[in-house]
Structure formats: C-alpha cells, structure tokens
Chains A and B, each alone.
Chain A
C-alpha cells in the first residue's frame, strides 16, 4: 500500500468535501434569498382619499392572502413607509429633511411573501387587475428568474464537478492498485493456475483499496474537523443567517467522504484486478 495513494485520496476527498460544502452554502444562500423575495405593490395615493383607499387595500390584502401561492401579506401604511424611510436615513447617517415636507409623499404598499418564489404570476396578475387600488407592481419577475437560473447552473455545475473529481480519484486509485497487482502478477498467475477462484484472488486487493479509501477518508475528515473551528468562527455571522443545519451538514459530509473513499477504493481495486483474472 502506498503513501501516495492515501495522499491523493485525502486531497481528492478534501476537494470533494470542499465542493460539497460550497454547493451546500450556495444552495442555502439562494434559499435564503428566495425566502426574502417578495412582491411589492405600491398603492395609489390620492390626497384626501387616504382612508377609503386603506379600506380597499385591506380588502385586496384579504383576497391576495387567499391565493395558495401566498405565504404572507403585509400592509405597509403610509406612516410605516415614512418611518422606514427615516430609519434608513438614520442608519446611513444622512440628514432627515422629511420634517419639512407638508405631506407624506410615500405611498402605502402591500408586501407579499410567496410560498415558492417561482410561482409569482397569479399574484402579479391579481394585483395588476386591481388598478383602482394598485398603482404599480414592482418588477420582481426578472430578479426571481435570474436568481433561479443562477441556482440551477450552480447545482448542475457542482454536480458535474463532483462527478469529474470522483473520476479523477477513481483513475488514480485504479493506477495505484494496479501497481500492487503488477507487483504480485506472478502470484496471481500461479493462483489462477492452481485453481483459486476469482473472488479469492480479488479480495486482498479489494481489501487494500477499501483500506486506502477509509484511511484517506479518516485523514480528510481530520483535516476538515481541524479547519471547521477557525472557518466557522470566521463565517459565524454568515452561517447564522443561512438556513443551514450544521449537524445535518456535518453528517452529510462524513457520509460523503467515507462513502466516496470506500466506494472509489473498492471500485478502483476491482477494476485493476479484473484484467488480470483472464477469460
């Protein structure tokens, strides 16, 4: 058994785990953003008719909430809109001049949270159809579509990379075990000639492949465990925001690393020995 085989195995498994964590992070990030995506409808603002419009807006809110695609509906009154605006100015340290305005210029609005950010069309349609209340449906459509396509590209791209990495590992393991097989070529030939079964000849190499895989997986997990502390501290704020189950993620990574190490080690050995077992 060679140190080089274990070392490559460790490197590849680390790469694999890295990619896995990256895509898990990205997926969670996208889910987070998706969860934040809302449809915003600015309401008409007619001086003097504010009270009547509020009644109509609340009726619309009830209708919107009845749609199955809708998770939440929040009515933002003109006062609340102004309060938020002032809050934002204060956060940025800008001078608040709104006190000099004779009338609150901000419109009331409806903020609609969706169950699935891709299913926005019925909500937009309903809001647009009530033009007596709704002034403008803020164009979220394009944003959502772009986000979704980026997510998909990341997922498929990640998958392709994972498969490619697995193939590289397999190739390296096949060649490493082949060296071991070649070193014992004569012994294998004698075994065949005296009537050893294929399984009997194969198992020591399968065992070796599995051992390389498990050793590599163990070392890779050790490295990951050592890195987890500092990296976690560094990204604490980020991770806290994301809807990531750290326990589940750790379990997935352990399963992925051990499973891939074992699987690739065994498969690689099997492929290496196969050509020496004759017809």
Chain B
C-alpha cells in the first residue's frame, strides 16, 4: 500500500513557513495573492487564479518556462501592473486600493533586483546606491551611513567610488542588491538576478541573497537556474502558462 510512503513535503500557503510541530502561531505573511488573474490589454492571459502567500523570513524560488508569467507576478507585487482579478496584498496593503500617490511609499518597502542590473552608468557605485535614498527625499546626513552599511553587506565597500562600467557583472549585480537593501526592506524581489552571470558568479549572488535572507529579509526570486534551485532545497513555486502547478520544498523539476 502507498500509505507507508512518506507524503511529499507539501507546503501550506495559509500557514506560511513550514510549521514546526508544537511551536506557536505562524509568522504573518509578507505578501498574499488571492485568486489573482492578469490579462494584458492585448488579451494575453499571463496569470490565472494564483493563490500564494509568503511568510516573513522565507526564501522562495519562482520557476517556470519562459512566458509562464514570473515577471508578471513580480510586477504585480510592486504595483507596476494591477491584477485583472483577485487581490494582491503586500505588507498588509491591498495594492488595488493603494492610491497612485502612495505607490512610491510602497515601493520603498520592497527591494527590487533585475537581470540587467539597471544601474546608472554615469554614477559611481556609491551614488547608484545613494540614488535610491536621494530620490525619496532622505536627509543627506542619513544617506552616507545607510549606503556604507549596504555596501558592506554586499562586500563592495572597496569599490564604492568606481563606475559600474569598470565592474564585473557580479559586482554590478551586487551594487544593484545594495541599492535594493538601502531602504532596509522587509521583502526583496529578484527577477532572474543571475541570468546574465556565469555559474560561479551566480553562486556568489545566491549566497549573498541567502545571507540577506538570514538577516530576516524575505526573498522571492524568479530564476531559470535549475542547478541552484535543485541543490538548495528551498520552497519552489512553479508556474506554467500562468498557473501555479507546484508549490513545495524541492528542486527545479518535479520529483515524483
């Protein structure tokens, strides 16, 4: 009989982090998607009926073939797009109800990292990181220490005065991560952060994100990097054609 075999490490989104038997209440979710669908104005259905919840402190991989809707899902979280159905709740706020003028505040609570780094080429590493604080009107006196702290976390203190063009891809991505960190967000969203990097450097970036996660920051990372996902055995949310087809601790591919 099959009853003898251990059940797969199923994940209960409603309870957040994998419940350890006997411990107290589950941590509150950092983000929740309920019945979320997204159809682009051109009629393309990118997401259907998404149910997803991330608890504080989790590290979650978002995987799936190209066009599955990973980037779309991440864009919903920073309210770059609005869902066509369902609710997106980030840090307790229903994004559809957040008025436009409060969106900047929301984004300051989320760190975002992209495949193409999105650094300003004419600004030094330090200034790129400081930029995130400058544009939100942070007092000058508070910028410098915050930038130094973020650069220290990513290990780029020594390169602070270099221009991005003089840095390796990995160093550029670490600059972008420092910029994402400088607002001290509770959540970091990374869309294929290792997509442009070679395997060794990719590992460095993953290690960095894991370290930031250990500091208590929730991390949601979309990736095609099967090797990394499979070997880390973290929670994996798999999308296919806009649907969640798998949500469990495991590897890049279904393991049946």
Interface set of A (CB-CB < 8 Å, partner B): 186-187, 189-198, 200-201, 278-279
> B186 at the A/B interface (Cβ < 8 Å)?
no
Instruction: Encode B12-54 as 1/0 by CB contact (under 8 A) with A.
Output: 0000000000000000000000000000000000000000000
Q: Chain B residues with Cβ under 8 A from A187's Cβ?
A: 120
Q: Chain B residues with Cβ under 8 A from A196's Cβ?
A: 104, 135-136
User: Given that A195-B107, A278-B80 are contacting pairs, would A190 and B118 also be in contact in the complex, using a CB cutoff of 8 Å?
Assistant: yes
Picked from A190, A193, A195, A198, the residue with its CB within 8 Å of the CB of B120 is A190
Picked from A192, A194, A197, A279, the residue with its CB within 8 Å of the CB of B81 is A279
> B132 at the A/B interface (Cβ < 8 Å)?
yes
**Interchain CB contact under 8 A, B118 and A195:** no
**Interchain CB contact under 8 A, B104 and A189:** no
**Interchain CB contact under 8 A, A193 and B112:** yes
B57 → chain A closest CB, angstroms: 23
Interface set of B (CB-CB < 8 Å, partner A): 78-82, 100-101, 104-108, 112, 118, 120, 131-132, 135-137, 179, 183
Q: Chain B residues with Cβ under 8 A from A200's Cβ?
A: 135-137
Q: Chain A residues with Cβ under 8 A from B132's Cβ?
A: 194-195
Tell me the bound Cα distance from A200 to B81 in angstroms.
21
B128 → chain A closest CB, angstroms: 9
Name the residue of chain B whose CB is nearest to the CB of A201.
B135
B98 → chain A closest CB, angstroms: 11
Picked from A186, A195, A197, the residue with its CB within 8 Å of the CB of B101 is A197
3 interchain residue pairs of minimum CB distance: A196-B135, A195-B108, A195-B107
Picked from A190, A195, A279, the residue with its CB within 8 Å of the CB of B104 is A195
For the residues of A in contact with B, the DSSP-based class is helix
**Interchain CB contact under 8 A, B108 and A194:** yes
**Interchain CB contact under 8 A, B118 and A189:** yes
A202 → chain B closest CB, angstroms: 12
**Interchain CB contact under 8 A, B137 and A195:** no
Tell me the bound Cα distance from A201 to B137 in angstroms.
12
B199 → chain A closest CB, angstroms: 27
9 contacts between A and B (CB under 8 A): A186-B120, A190-B118, A190-B120, A193-B118, A194-B112, A196-B135, A196-B136, A200-B135, A278-B80
Q: Chain B residues with Cβ under 8 A from A192's Cβ?
A: 104, 107
Tell me the bound Cα distance from A19 to B118 in angstroms.
49
Q: Chain B residues with Cβ under 8 A from A201's Cβ?
A: 135
Tell me the bound Cα distance from A198 to B99 in angstroms.
13
User: Given that A186-B120, A187-B120, A279-B100 are contacting pairs, would A194 and B82 also be in contact in the complex, using a CB cutoff of 8 Å?
Assistant: no
Tell me the bound Cα distance from A177 to B104 in angstroms.
24
**Interchain CB contact under 8 A, B101 and A194:** no
**Interchain CB contact under 8 A, B82 and A279:** yes
Tell me the bound Cα distance from A194 to B104 in angstroms.
8
Counting chain B CB atoms within 10 Å of each CB, the highest count among A190, A193, A195, A201 belongs to A195
B42 → chain A closest CB, angstroms: 16
**Interchain CB contact under 8 A, B135 and A194:** yes
Q: Chain A residues with Cβ under 8 A from B118's Cβ?
A: 186, 189-190, 193
B64 → chain A closest CB, angstroms: 23
B135 → chain A closest CB, angstroms: 4
Tell me the bound Cα distance from A257 to B244 in angstroms.
61
**Interchain CB contact under 8 A, A193 and B107:** yes
Q: Chain A residues with Cβ under 8 A from B101's Cβ?
A: 197-198
B187 → chain A closest CB, angstroms: 13
Tell me the bound Cα distance from A186 to B108 in angstroms.
18
Q: Chain B residues with Cβ under 8 A from A190's Cβ?
A: 118, 120, 131
Q: Chain B residues with Cβ under 8 A from A195's Cβ?
A: 104-108, 132, 135-136, 183
A24 → chain B closest CB, angstroms: 44
Name the residue of chain A whose CB is nearest to the CB of B128.
A190
Counting chain B CB atoms within 10 Å of each CB, the highest count among A186, A196, A201 belongs to A196
**Interchain CB contact under 8 A, A194 and B120:** no
Q: Chain B residues with Cβ under 8 A from A193's Cβ?
A: 78, 80, 107, 112, 118
Q: Chain A residues with Cβ under 8 A from B112's Cβ?
A: 193-194
Counting chain A CB atoms within 10 Å of each CB, the highest count among B105, B108, B118 belongs to B118
Beyond A194-B132, A195-B104, A198-B101: 10 further Cβ-contacts under 8 Å? Answer: A190-B118, A192-B107, A194-B112, A194-B135, A194-B136, A195-B135, A195-B136, A196-B135, A278-B80, A279-B100
Name the residue of chain A whose CB is nearest to the CB of B112.
A193
A183 → chain B closest CB, angstroms: 12
Q: Chain A residues with Cβ under 8 A from B137's Cβ?
A: 200
Q: Chain A residues with Cβ under 8 A from B104's Cβ?
A: 192, 195-198
Name the residue of chain A whose CB is nearest to the CB of B182.
A194
Tell me the bound Cα distance from A194 to B183 in angstroms.
9
